Structure 1
Amino acid sequence: MSGSTVTRARTREPFDRRIARAVQAVTGRALGPYQTAIVRIGFSLTWLVFLLRELPHRHEMYGPDGPWSWELASRLIADNRAFTVLMWSDGRLWFELVYGLAVLSTALLLVGWHTRAVSVVFMVGVLSLQNRSVFLGDGGDNVLHLAAIYLVLTRCGQVWSLDARRAEREAARRAAARPAGEAVEAERRDLVGPLLWTVLGGFLLATTWFSDVTGEWWLPVLLWVLWLGHGLWWLACRLAPGEPRTLLDVLANLAHNAALVVIMAEVCLIYATAGWYKIQGSRWQDGTALYYPLHLDYFSPWPALSELLGSSGIMVLLLTYGTVIVQIAFPFTLFHRKVKNVLLVAMMLEHAGIAVLLGLPVFSLAMISADAVFLPTAFLVALGAKAARGRDRLRGRRSAGTLPEQRRTGEEHGPRTLVG
Structure 2
Amino acid sequence: MNRSSTPPTSTPPTSTPPTSTPPNAGSAGSAPREPFDRRLARGVQRVTASALGPYQTAIVRIGFSLTWLLFLLRELPHRHELYGPDGSWAWGLARQLIAQNDAFTVLMWSDSDFWFETVYVLALLSALLLLLGWRTRAVSVVFMVGVLSMQNRSVFVGDGGDNVIHLAAIYLVLTRCGQVWSLDARRAAREAARAAEGAGAPRRDVVGPLLWTVLGGLLLATTYYSDTNGSAWLLVLLWVLWLGQALWWLVCRYAPGEPRTLLDVLANLTHNAALVVIMAEVCLIYATAGWYKIQGSRWQDGTALYYPLQLDYFAPWPVLSDLLGSSGVMVMVLTYGTVLIQVAFPFALFNRKVKNVLLVAMMLEHAGIAVLLGLPLFSLAMISADAVFLPTAFLVWLGARVGRGKDRLLSRPRGTVPDQRRTGEEAAPRTLVG
The alignment-based identity, stated in percent, is 77
Judged with a 3 Å threshold, the aligned counterparts in structure 2 of structure 1 residues 383 and 3 are, in CA distance, closer, same or farther, namely farther
Judged with a 3 Å threshold, the aligned counterparts in structure 2 of structure 1 residues 5 and 34 are, in CA distance, closer, same or farther, namely farther
Question: Partner residue of 1:219?
Answer: 234
Question: Partner residue of 2:416?
Answer: 406
Greater radius of gyration (CA)? 2
Deviation at 1:236, TM superposition (A): 1.2
Deviation at 1:22, TM superposition (A): 1.9
CA deviation vs aligned residue, 1:360-384 (integer Å, no higher than 9, x gap) = 0110000000000000000000000
Equivalence map 1:152-301=2 (5 Å):
152-178=173-199, 180=200, 183=201, 186-187=203-204, 190-213=205-228, 215-301=230-316
Question: Partner residue of 1:92?
Answer: 113
Measure, in 2, the Cα distance between the counterparts of 1:251 and 1:409: 47
Measure, in 1, the Cα distance between the counterparts of 2:158 and 2:309: 21
Deviation at 1:17, TM superposition (A): 2.8
- Counterpart of 1:395 (choices 410, 419, 426) is 410
Equivalence map 1:122-133=2 (5 Å):
122-133=143-154
- Counterpart of 1:23 (choices 28, 32, 44) is 44
* Structure 2 unaligned regions, length at least 5: 1-24, 428-434
* Structure 1 unaligned regions, length at least 5: none
Q: Is the 8 A contact 1:87 1:213 kept in 2?
A: no
Question: Partner residue of 2:16?
Answer: none
Deviation at 1:26, TM superposition (A): 1.1
Measure, in 1, the Cα distance between the counterparts of 2:43 and 2:27: 21
Q: Secondary structure of 2:32's match?
A: helix
Judged with a 3 Å threshold, the aligned counterparts in structure 2 of structure 1 residues 407 and 226 are, in CA distance, closer, same or farther, namely closer
Deviation at 1:217, TM superposition (A): 1.1
Q: Secondary structure of 1:136's match?
A: coil
Corresponding letter in the other structure for 1:406: T
Judged with a 3 Å threshold, the aligned counterparts in structure 2 of structure 1 residues 408 and 171 are, in CA distance, closer, same or farther, namely closer
Question: Partner residue of 1:377?
Answer: 392
Measure, in 2, the Cα distance between the counterparts of 1:3 and 1:171: 44
Measure, in 2, the Cα distance between the counterparts of 1:124 and 1:412: 53
Judged with a 3 Å threshold, the aligned counterparts in structure 2 of structure 1 residues 6 and 318 are, in CA distance, closer, same or farther, namely farther
Q: Is the 8 A contact 1:62 1:133 kept in 2?
A: yes
Equivalence map 1:4-153=2 (5 Å):
9-10=32-33, 13=35, 15-153=36-174
Deviation at 1:409, TM superposition (A): 9.5
Q: Is the 8 A contact 1:41 1:110 kept in 2?
A: yes
Q: Is the 8 A contact 1:77 1:215 kept in 2?
A: no
Q: Is the 8 A contact 2:286 2:342 kept in 1?
A: yes
CA deviation vs aligned residue, 1:234-261 (integer Å, no higher than 9, x gap) = 1111211110000000000000000000
Measure, in 2, the Cα distance between the counterparts of 1:85 and 1:325: 42
Measure, in 1, the Cα distance between the counterparts of 2:30 and 2:106: 55
Judged with a 3 Å threshold, the aligned counterparts in structure 2 of structure 1 residues 393 and 127 are, in CA distance, closer, same or farther, namely same
Measure, in 2, the Cα distance between the counterparts of 1:32 and 1:299: 36
Q: Is the 8 A contact 1:106 1:122 kept in 2?
A: yes
CA deviation vs aligned residue, 1:14-37 (integer Å, no higher than 9, x gap) = x43333222112111000000000
Corresponding letter in the other structure for 1:9: P
Deviation at 1:207, TM superposition (A): 1.2
Judged with a 3 Å threshold, the aligned counterparts in structure 2 of structure 1 residues 287 and 213 are, in CA distance, closer, same or farther, namely same
Deviation at 1:293, TM superposition (A): 0.3
Deviation at 1:137, TM superposition (A): 1.9
Question: Partner residue of 2:318?
Answer: 303
Judged with a 3 Å threshold, the aligned counterparts in structure 2 of structure 1 residues 36 and 387 are, in CA distance, closer, same or farther, namely same
Q: Secondary structure of 1:134's match?
A: coil
CA deviation vs aligned residue, 1:175-206 (integer Å, no higher than 9, x gap) = 1122x5xx37x11xx10100111000001101
Corresponding letter in the other structure for 2:167: L
Q: CA RMSD in A?
A: 2.1
CA deviation vs aligned residue, 1:78-100 (integer Å, no higher than 9, x gap) = 00000100000000000000000
Judged with a 3 Å threshold, the aligned counterparts in structure 2 of structure 1 residues 409 and 113 are, in CA distance, closer, same or farther, namely closer
- Counterpart of 1:327 (choices 342, 354, 362) is 342
Judged with a 3 Å threshold, the aligned counterparts in structure 2 of structure 1 residues 278 and 165 are, in CA distance, closer, same or farther, namely same
Q: Say which is worse superposed, 272-281 or 230-239, in terms of deviation.
A: 230-239
CA deviation vs aligned residue, 1:315-342 (integer Å, no higher than 9, x gap) = 0000000000000000001010000000
Question: Partner residue of 2:21?
Answer: none
Corresponding letter in the other structure for 2:98: I
- Counterpart of 1:342 (choices 344, 347, 357) is 357
Judged with a 3 Å threshold, the aligned counterparts in structure 2 of structure 1 residues 7 and 117 are, in CA distance, closer, same or farther, namely farther
Measure, in 2, the Cα distance between the counterparts of 1:239 and 1:6: 54
Corresponding letter in the other structure for 2:207: V
Measure, in 1, the Cα distance between the counterparts of 2:30 and 2:122: 53
Judged with a 3 Å threshold, the aligned counterparts in structure 2 of structure 1 residues 407 and 177 are, in CA distance, closer, same or farther, namely closer
TM-score using structure 2 length: 0.89
Measure, in 2, the Cα distance between the counterparts of 1:332 and 1:69: 45
Corresponding letter in the other structure for 1:52: L
Judged with a 3 Å threshold, the aligned counterparts in structure 2 of structure 1 residues 16 and 405 are, in CA distance, closer, same or farther, namely closer
Measure, in 1, the Cα distance between the counterparts of 2:235 and 2:271: 20
Q: Secondary structure of 1:9's match?
A: coil
Q: Say which is worse superposed, 405-414 or 387-396, in terms of deviation.
A: 405-414
Q: Is the 8 A contact 2:175 2:275 kept in 1?
A: yes
Measure, in 2, the Cα distance between the counterparts of 1:214 and 1:105: 26
Measure, in 1, the Cα distance between the counterparts of 2:85 and 2:28: 69
Q: Is the 8 A contact 2:143 2:169 kept in 1?
A: yes
| Equivalent residues, number | 402
